[in-house]
Structures are given as C-alpha cells and as structure tokens.
C-alpha cells in the first residue's frame, strides 16, 4: 500500500468558534494516518483536535436507558469521557443491554469501561421513584 | 372567563425552561419576590429532551447534556426558595399585567407588577412549508421525534429522510442512526447548512450521512404510511428545477425547518412584535413595548447556544426586579438600532441608556456566510465598534459588547446606530 498525501478541510468542534482548518496529512502508511501541517486554527486546541481527528477521532455519545419504577420511562446517559469514534457502535450495543431501577441521580455510573473504552457511562437525568 | 381567586405578585416568570429559570434566579437574587409558572410537570423545558452534550461550554467550561445543564439551574432555584407552579398554564395576559392562569382545572387571576415572558419557541411544521403530496403518517418535526425517542421510548421509523439542516435535524440524524435507523440523507433548501459546523461533522460526516444543499422536498408519497419523498434541486430563487427530481424511499420524514418564538400571550397583551424574528421588540433591558413586561430566550429571538439564553435571561430578570423596585424608568426610546447591510436583525432594536452597567450587548445574525468578515456598529461616520471575525454564519448569532459611554455620546447626537457586516 502506498502513502497518499491528502489535503483535508476540518471544522473544529472543540468550541463554538468552529474554526475552519485546512490540514495536510499522510494516509496509507504503516503507522496509520499522520498529520503533516495545518492552518486556520485560532488556538492550540484546534491543532490538537485536528491531529486527533486525523489520527484517532474521539467522540462523546448520548443515549437513553429504560428505567423501571421511575417517574420517567427513560434515563438519559452519556460517556463521561470521549471514546474512539470507531468504538461508538460497540459501546451503543453494550448500553442497549442495560436497564436501570429508579431512583437515579445525575452523575450515577451505569457502566464502566464499555467495550474496552476508558470511560464510564453516567446518568444525566434525575429520575425519582414513581409515587 | 373569570377566576375564582385573585392574587397579587411582584414578578411572574412565564416558562420554566432555561430562560425562565435564569430570569427567576437573577430576579430573586436581586431581592425580588418572584413566582415561576411552567405548563409541564417538570422544569427544564426543551432541555429535558436534548440529551446530547455540548451545553454549558461558555458558562461552565464543560460539555453537559441538556438535562444536566437544566439541573444546575433547577438546583439553584430550589436553593433560593422560589415558588414554582407546575402543571400550570397561562391562558391570557392583559396589557395591564393581569394573568389568567389555569392549574388543575382551577382558574386564578394573578396581578403582577412585572412579567418576564420566557415561553421559548415552537417548530415550523409541514403546513408552514406547503409541501405538496399526500398526508401519510410518518412526517414529524425533528423536535417531536426527539421527544418520542428520548422521553417516550418510541422510535418514529426505520428509514429516515430529513428536510432542513438545522441543529435539531442534524442531532436527530445521529440519534436515529445510533438507535438503529437508516438515515438516507439530509436536504437543505439553502446553499449552506443552517446548523453549527460542529454538528455537521459530528452528526453527519461521522455516520456517512449525505447532505444535499440547494435541495428541497417537492412531493410526499404514501397513502397510509409514508413511502418516500421526491426531492429536487432549487435555483438561486429557491425554485425547484424541472428535471432534477429524485425519489428517496423512506418511512419517516423529519422536518427541521426553523423555529418561531412562542408569543401568543404577548400578542394578546398587545406587545409589539418584530416581523423579522417573531419575538418582541425590546430595549437593552429586554423590556417590551409594555412597561414592566420583559422578554428573553427563544421567545425573544431564537438562539443557537443555551449559554447565551441564560445570560440574556439574567439581564431580563435583573431588569424586571429593578422595575418592581421602582429603579428602572420606562420612558423614552433612546437610541434606535437598525440592521444595516449584511445583517438580518439586531436585538435590542432600541436602547434606553442603562444606568448602571459599563457595557451592554447587541445580538444579531448575518444574512449570508462570510470568511474574514468585519462587523461594525456605527452612527453615520462615527464607528462605535468594529470586530473582525474569521467566519460569520447566519446559523451563529454574533454577540457584540458596546460601552455605555459611547452610547451616551450617540444619544446626544440623535443618530441611529446601524449594525452591518461585510
């Protein structure tokens, strides 16, 4: 497999500035994609983000889990830390197997290290026991 | 209708979403007696169904989900002992600040010294677009689908098309994908997306969902359930081009085609509304054309970031408290503020010069996307403020701080302030 030099355009998602960043990177090398140069970022976080976006993109995901005996049918949950984009479907599959019992409070941990990721799945809604 | 009970209050905040919560907290902290009215059984408003993260980046430096962001304000409100009337709806607001309120079948009249309107907004529907075709089931607004999926545990369908690239539509494209649906495509009438760039990336690019710009839905097929939609490319006058039609089979169409400030109460009370935003015309204190009636949040103008809603609502809450205390005059229009070239609207639309703060804030939206743009607040040849922006976009509201000192000078000249973008 030969190495390809690629010019890509990225919209930074780190903050609402949404910087438009142009980057050059190598793809197809033995060490995976590699950032060569970039321009257009307003801050250092933009560079870190584009490097990660090219080399190992990370995402937080949010979803809902069914609740038994609560004043809501569902409790919203999210990853406490970003996970590799490539692992999103695997993590979703693990969350889908879960259900919870009321009461629940914001921050409560539902799953640890789902699909081998370095994060926890935490509850983001207070759910009282159905009265 | 007449109420069996009449009560008197200093300040009534209508709406328990992010705007109402922040306004009530700010007013209470300013020493005002305040009551909050919410028609739902819970506080938090639409944030309750916005389970995705990204809220609070400005305010808390964290990417919170909607319920978490709301939760912080709800906890603060409870700590301040602000009375909240839940499951309560305001049926009528009069120009002399009398509210007709229905709670569990009981009508009450509340006479308030001041009112903060924080009712949020609603979604434009298929009816507002006049899309031709059949009327099958399976056509929803994106927010309705969000409510089904995130609150009611109901999946609206399996094969989805989305019209409109507003943020809610983009977020639902991801949400439906994560829940196992196949999202075929997002179609956008304009030649640019009306969603935040971060959402285009995280919600569409990540999941390989195509975005078709300058494209709209020209027909809806299916007699019982939706069977598919026909889309067509539009020209620069946004008219469909004959011969470009393409059929997409789907069982669900989500509409994310704009939000309208919710102002039925304001209209009945005679509050002057802007034909551009659909929200009230206000001064720098968020006071409407009716003295003592304030407006903030998405009821005033549709925001893209909840952090800014909270900030604006706090301003409205503080001003309402000052009005109740007799410390806020309601006379005169002060300086007129006009949208200039490249700007769709400016909030506020006029400004009585605030007494205390050293600076004040203008919020506005540009008409078209620009790179390396300049926004300018000027009166004739006098430039009060000029800012460079690497990127300007109609989907992203611009906030500009202005010194009150400069405005005082402007008021003496009698000229209007014009905000432009180039």
pLDDT in tens, B114-165: 999 999 999 999 888 888 899 999 999 999 999 999 999 999 999 999 999 9
Averaged over B17-45, what is the pLDDT?
A: 97
Q: Quick check: B61 contacting A, CB < 8 Å?
A: no
Q: What six digits make up the tokens of B32? A: 């005002």
Closest-CA distance of chain B to residue A13, Å: 5
Averaged over B229-255, what is the pLDDT?
A: 97
Question: What residues of chain A, 60 to 119, have a C-beta less than 8 Å from chain B?
Answer: 60-64, 66, 72-74, 76, 78, 85, 88, 92, 106
Mutate to test the interface with B, among A62, A81, A115 (most CBs of B within 10 A): A62
Averaged over B85-109, what is the pLDDT?
A: 96
Confidence of residue B331 (pLDDT cuts 50, 70, 90): low
B385-402: b or e for each residue (b if 16 or more CB lie within 10 Å)? beeebebbbbbbbbebeb
Task: Using an 8 Å CB-CB cutoff, list chain A residues near B390.
Answer: 19-20, 40, 42
Q: Quote the mean pLDDT of chain B.
A: 93
Residue B75 confidence (pLDDT):
96
Q: Could you give the percent of chain B with pLDDT greater than 90?
A: 78
Averaged over B30-38, what is the pLDDT?
A: 98
Contact (CB<8Å) A73/B153: yes
Examine the predicted complex and report whether its ipTM is higher than 0.95.
Answer: no
Contact (CB<8Å) B153/A64: yes
A1 pLDDT more than 60: no
Least confident of A10-14, B23-27, B156-160: A10-14
Residue B356 confidence (pLDDT):
64
Provide the β-strand partners of residue B260: B122
Closest-CA distance of chain B to residue A103, Å: 16
Averaged over A50-64, what is the pLDDT?
A: 91
Q: Summarize pLDDT for B315-330 with one digit per residue, the tens.
A: 999 999 999 999 887 6
Task: Using an 8 Å CB-CB cutoff, list chain A residues near B396.
Answer: 16, 18
Residue B164 confidence (pLDDT):
95
- B27: number of CA atoms within 13 Å, CB side? 35
Contact (CB<8Å) B206/A59: yes
Residue B408 confidence (pLDDT):
81
Q: Summarize pLDDT for B166-177 with one digit per residue, the tens.
A: 889 999 999 999
Q: Quote the mean pLDDT of chain A.
A: 90
- Taking residue B87's Cβ as centre, other Cβ atoms within 10 Å add up to 12
Averaged over B99-124, what is the pLDDT?
A: 96
Averaged over B207-231, what is the pLDDT?
A: 96
Residue B330 confidence (pLDDT):
61
For residue A123, what is the enclosing H or E element? strand A120-123
- Cα–Cα dist B239/B257, whole Å: 16
Least confident of B11-15, B131-135, B309-313: B131-135
- Cα–Cα dist B120/B38, whole Å: 11
| SS3 labels along chain B | CCCCEEEEEEEEEECCCHHHHHHHHHHHHCCCCEEEECCCCCCCHHHHHCCCEEECCCCCCCCEEHHHHHHHHHHHHHHCCCCEECCEEEEEECCCCEEEEEECCEEEEEEEEEEEECCCEEECCHHHHCCCCCCCECEEEHHHHHHHHHHCCCCCCCEEEEECCCHHHHHHHHHHHHCCCEEEEEECCCCCCCCCHHHHHHHHHHHCCCEECCEEEEEEECCCECCEEEEEEECCCCCECCCCCEEEECCEEEECCCEEECCHHHHHHCCCECCCCCCECCCCCCECCCCCEEECHHHCCCCCCHHHHHHHHHHHHHHHHHHHCCCCCCCCCEEEEEECCCEEEEECCEECCCCCCCEEEEEEEECCCEEEEEEEEEECCEEEEEEEEEEECCCCCEEEEEEHHHHHHHHHHCCCEEEEEC
Contact (CB<8Å) A63/B200: no
What contacts B410, CB < 8 A, 6 or more positions away? B335, B379, B382, B384, B417
Closest-CA distance of chain B to residue A83, Å: 13
Q: Summarize pLDDT for B262-307 with one digit per residue, the tens.
A: 999 999 999 999 999 999 999 989 999 999 999 999 999 999 999 9
Minimum-distance CB partner of B150 among A17, A76, A88: A76
Q: Summarize pLDDT for B358-369 with one digit per residue, the tens.
A: 788 899 999 999
Are the C-beta atoms of residues B342 and B398 closer than 8 Å to each other?
no
Q: Quick check: B270 contacting A, CB < 8 Å?
A: no
Minimum-distance CB partner of B51 among A19, A76, A88: A76
Contact (CB<8Å) A16/B305: yes
B355 pLDDT more than 70: no
For residue A92, what is the enclosing H or E element? helix A88-96
Q: Summarize pLDDT for B374-409 with one digit per residue, the tens.
A: 999 999 888 999 999 888 889 889 999 988 888 888
Residue B354 confidence (pLDDT):
66
Contact (CB<8Å) B65/A62: yes
């Amino acid at each position: 497999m030969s190495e390809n030099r690629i010019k890509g355009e990225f919209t930074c998602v780190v903050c609402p500035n949404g910087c438009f960043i142009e980057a050059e990177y190598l793809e197809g090398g033995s060490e995976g994609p590699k950032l060569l140069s970039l321009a257009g970022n307003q801050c250092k976080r933009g560079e870190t983000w584009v490097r990660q976006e090219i080399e190992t993109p990370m995402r937080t995901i949010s979803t809902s889990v069914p609740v038994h005996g609560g004043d809501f049918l569902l409790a919203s949950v999210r990853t406490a830390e970003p996970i590799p984009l490539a692992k999103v479907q695997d993590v979703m599959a693990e969350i889908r197997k879960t259900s919870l019992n009321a009461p629940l409070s914001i921050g409560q941990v539902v799953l640890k290290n789902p699909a081998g990721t370095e994060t926890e799945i935490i509850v983001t809604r207070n759910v009282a026991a159905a009265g | 209708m007449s109420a069996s009970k009449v009560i008197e209050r200093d300040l009534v905040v209508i709406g328990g979403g992010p705007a109402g919560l922040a306004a009530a907290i700010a007013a209470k902290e300013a020493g005002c007696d305040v009551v909050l009215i919410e028609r739902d059984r819970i506080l938090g408003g639409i944030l309750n169904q916005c389970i995705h993260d990204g809220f609070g980046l400005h305010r808390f430096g964290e990417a919170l989900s909607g319920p978490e962001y709301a939760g912080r304000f709800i906890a603060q409100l409870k700590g301040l002992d602000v009375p909240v009337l839940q499951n309560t709806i305001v049926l009528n607001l009069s120009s002399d600040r009398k509210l007709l309120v229905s709670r569990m079948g009981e009508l009450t009249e509340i006479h308030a010294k001041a009112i903060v309107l924080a009712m949020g907004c609603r979604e434009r529907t298929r009816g507002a677009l006049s899309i031709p075709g059949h009327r099958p089931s399976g056509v929803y607004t994106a927010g309705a689908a969000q409510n089904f999926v995130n609150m009611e545990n109901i999946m609206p369908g399996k094969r989805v098309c989305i019209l409109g690239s507003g943020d809610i539509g983009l977020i639902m494209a991801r949400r439906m994908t994560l829940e196992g649906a196949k999202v075929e495509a997002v179609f956008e009438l304009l030649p640019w997306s009306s969603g935040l760039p971060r959402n285009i990336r995280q919600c569409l690019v990540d999941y390989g969902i195509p975005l078709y710009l300058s494209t709209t839905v020209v027909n809806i097929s299916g007699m019982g359930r939706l069977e598919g939609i026909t889309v067509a490319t539009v020209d620069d006058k946004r008219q469909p081009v004959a011969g470009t039609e393409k059929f997409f089979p789907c069982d669900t169409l989500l509409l994310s085609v704009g939000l309208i400030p919710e102002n039925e109460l304001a209209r009945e009370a005679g509050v002057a509304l802007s034909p551009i935003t659909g929200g009230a015309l206000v001064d720098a204190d968020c006071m409407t054309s009716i003295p003592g009636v304030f407006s903030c949040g998405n009821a005033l103008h549709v925001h893209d970031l909840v952090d800014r809603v909270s900030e604006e609502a706090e301003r409205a809450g503080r001003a309402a408290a000052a009005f109740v205390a007799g410390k806020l005059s309601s006379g005169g229009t002060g300086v007129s503020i006009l949208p200039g070239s490249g700007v769709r609207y400016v909030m506020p639309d006029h400004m009585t010069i605030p007494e205390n703060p050293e600076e004040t804030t203008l919020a506005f939206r540009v008409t078209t996307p620009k790179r390396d743009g300049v926004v300018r607040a000027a009166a004739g040849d006098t430039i009060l403020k000029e800012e460079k922006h690497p990127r300007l976009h109609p989907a992203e509201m611009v906030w500009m701080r202005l010194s009150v000192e400069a405005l005082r000078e402007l008021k003496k000249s009698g000229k209007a302030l014009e905000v432009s973008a180039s």
